[in-house]
Chain A
Amino acid sequence: MREDKPFTIYGQTFESRLLIGSALYPSPQVMTDAIHASQSQIVTVSLRRQNSVSAGQDFWQLIKDTGLTVLPNTAGCHSVKEAVTLANMCREVFATDWIKLELIGDEYNLQPDPIALLDATEILLQDGFKVLPYCTDDLVLCQRLAALGCEVLMPWGAPIGTGKGLLNPYNLAMIRQRLPDMTLIVDAGLGVPSHACQALEMGYDAVLLNSAIAGAGCPVKMARAFNHAVQAGRAAYIAQAMPEKDVAAPSTPTMGMPFWHQN
């Protein structure tokens, strides 16, 4: 059995290992209900210039009313400058130094730009931000981000909104193995609760998702299902799975069984 370490983000501890997004729900009411059903403690929000400060106040109030810790993101930014500006706006609007740093390199599959991400991370860390970079599952990139001082990394499972699950479990496992003390969150690409469960079973500390819940037929039920999946996955990781074998090993001893039952 493994030791159960608490889930921490820059020194702050959380019970729930599910981070939830706030976009694409059928209505704000459904969003609020789904957020509560997920039992998440952290909600991500995306600020745009058009809904900054006063213009988006009604929506931000709904988010604040959930009582969750807000993790603003820089969704939609394509350059270091845009991301740094938006991070500063977020810090002002949400009064937090946390930032989920998202820097898009490819418009179509919204793949993060690893090079710009390193530059922006460095600037924001120096500026006092607690950066949670959304990155691809490249080990070297993750090592570089860790070397800059990130305490949390968020490699993708698959491109945003695809629901494909963990496309490259080998890469993700390698990152987990090589950065054993880093808080690692699989961010994006999950579709069903078993994907989240798989990430937690692998030793990832948490998952972050949005479309899988918001785009489900019943977001509230799906939020509940993800909550269960995350708990199951974490419990399985702590319990330590049995090793895989190539040949069958009977679970019932055959000694004492009549020979005509043995085949």
Chain B
Amino acid sequence: MRKPKVAILGFGLVGRVAALMLQDQYQLSIFEAAQTPNNNGAGALAAAMLAPMAESVICEADLAQMGVEAMTLWPKLLATLSMPVMYQQVGTLIVAHQQDMGDLRSFEQRLKPLAGHQAQHVSSHDIAKLEPELAGRFHQGIYLPSEGQLDNLAFYKASFEQLKNTECQFYFGKSVMLERNLQGVAQVNGEAFDWVIDCRGIGAKHQLDGLRGVRGEVARIYAPEVTLNRPVRLMHPRYPIYIAPKPNNEFVIGATEIESQDDGPITVRSTLELLSAAYTVHSGFAEARVMAISAGLRPAFSDNRPHIETDGNVISINGLYRHGYLLAPAVVQQALSKELL
């Protein structure tokens, strides 16, 4: 019996998660506008933190709860891959310089209660135990022990390798024409599919009303002199700055948040803000090498919540905003569970 045919539009984070969930039961065709498999979408730039409690400060409680659920799904998803992908769950440390203590208090006040997650006050002594290299730099902070992160670049690579080994068809560098034939069945570039999963992120802007881009800028640096065990967030008056340690002494420092569709190169001001913030956390960053410094657009709707829309046999999953890794497995599972899983 032939497997039902599914087209996945967009091979960014959401497209990959959908493809991995569907790989066994469906004949997949993946369409991606970019020429190459491993650098597309906001998911390639992100720090890939799984921080439902820290993010609860800016999102609704139900989304944070969904993030908790997604944390249980990630290990299962990564287990389907043949290459290892760093996944850790050793918490997030939040620190503030003396002048920004007001921001830390306000952050704490806005943390939402979340089952299984507890915020802990930490003293300079506790901070030294958690992150020995930050000893003496901060007097107090907040520790969110249940949070985690993964290595997004490794995930991008491993998911492509995995899907290459299946019957999955890839179409890179292709713009897609999504239409319906006379029977109302969705067609992609003239070919009919049983299901179409539209995961194009900002690429679907012209089809999805109210979808906008929110510019984010991040730096990826190589700092052999710095060891951090977990993501560290630094209070900043305008947006949360984080330093997420990745394998091989690489660190992702992000991220600005600007209401703009401009995905052009990062500005000097943003570069200064991000890198000087990192330097104030650890002076070892002074000698770090800047591997990449990039800007991308997070797809978002006006409520900054993910939207799942089903129209006939087209399911669109979009608007994950700054919560791609936090939410993707839970949102994709929710979108596919009714008809496909």
Contact = CB atoms under 8 A, between A and B. Distances in A.
Interface stretch (A21-29, A178-186, A238-246): A21-29
Nearest to B295: A50
Interface string B16-52: 0000000000000000000000000000000000000
A54 interface: yes
A29 B212 CA distance: 12
A230 to B, nearest CB: 23
A58 B58 contact: no
For the residues of B in contact with A, the DSSP-based class is loop
Given A26-B59, A27-B303, A28-B302, A48 B258 contact: yes
Nearest to A58: B212
B262 A50 contact: yes
A177 interface: no
Given A50-B267, A162-B102, A215-B106, A56 B261 contact: yes
Contacts of A108: 99
A28 B304 contact: yes
Contacts of B102: 162
A51 B262 contact: yes
Interface in A5-29: 24, 26-29
B110 interface: yes
A58 B302 CA distance: 10
Contact of B261 (A29, A30, A48, A57): A57
A125 to B, nearest CB: 28
A29 B260 CA distance: 16
Contacts of A59: 212, 259-260
Nearest to A32: B302
Interface string A221-252: 00000000000000000000000000000000
A91 B232 CA distance: 41
A32 B302 CA distance: 9
Given A29-B303, A29-B304, A51-B259, A217 B110 contact: yes
Interface in B262-303: 262, 264, 267, 300, 302-303
Contact of B260 (A24, A28, A56, A62): A56
A69 to B, nearest CB: 20
B233 interface: no
Interface in A28-70: 28-30, 32, 48-51, 54-59, 62
B136 interface: no
Nearest to B259: A59
A215 B103 CA distance: 11
Interface residues of B, number: 24
B215 interface: yes
A51 B58 contact: no
B116 interface: no
B201 to A, nearest CB: 15
B212 A26 contact: no
B302 A29 contact: yes
B261 to A, nearest CB: 5
B237 interface: yes
A186 B110 CA distance: 27
Given A32-B302, A62-B302, A161-B237, A51 B258 contact: yes
Contacts of B258: 48, 50-51
B262 A26 contact: no
B302 A50 contact: no
Given A26-B59, A108-B99, A56 B259 contact: yes
A214 to B, nearest CB: 11
Contacts of A30: 303
A245 B102 CA distance: 37
Contacts of B110: 217
A49 B303 CA distance: 25
Contacts of B305: 27
Nearest to B215: A50
A54 B263 CA distance: 12
A173 to B, nearest CB: 27
Contacts of B215: 50-51
A26 B304 contact: yes
Nearest to B109: A217
B302 A27 contact: yes
Contact of A51 (B237, B260, B300, B302): B260
A32 B99 CA distance: 31
Given A50-B258, A56-B260, A27 B304 contact: yes
Contacts of B58: 26
A63 B114 CA distance: 34
A24 B260 CA distance: 14
A152 to B, nearest CB: 27
Contacts of A54: 261
A51 B297 CA distance: 12
Given A28-B302, A55-B262, 12 more contacts: A27-B300, A27-B302, A27-B304, A29-B304, A32-B302, A50-B260, A51-B215, A54-B261, A56-B260, A57-B261, A59-B259, A59-B260
Interface of A: 24, 26-30, 32, 48-51, 54-59, 62, 108, 161-162, 215, 217
Can you list the 7 inter-chain pairs with the closest CB atoms, starting with the nearest? A27-B304, A51-B260, A55-B262, A58-B212, A59-B259, A29-B303, A28-B302
25 contacts: A26-B59, A27-B305, A28-B304, A29-B303, A29-B304, A48-B260, A49-B267, A50-B215, A50-B260, A50-B262, A51-B261, A54-B261, A55-B261, A55-B262, A56-B260, A56-B262, A57-B261, A58-B213, A58-B259, A58-B261, A59-B212, A59-B259, A62-B302, A162-B102, A215-B106
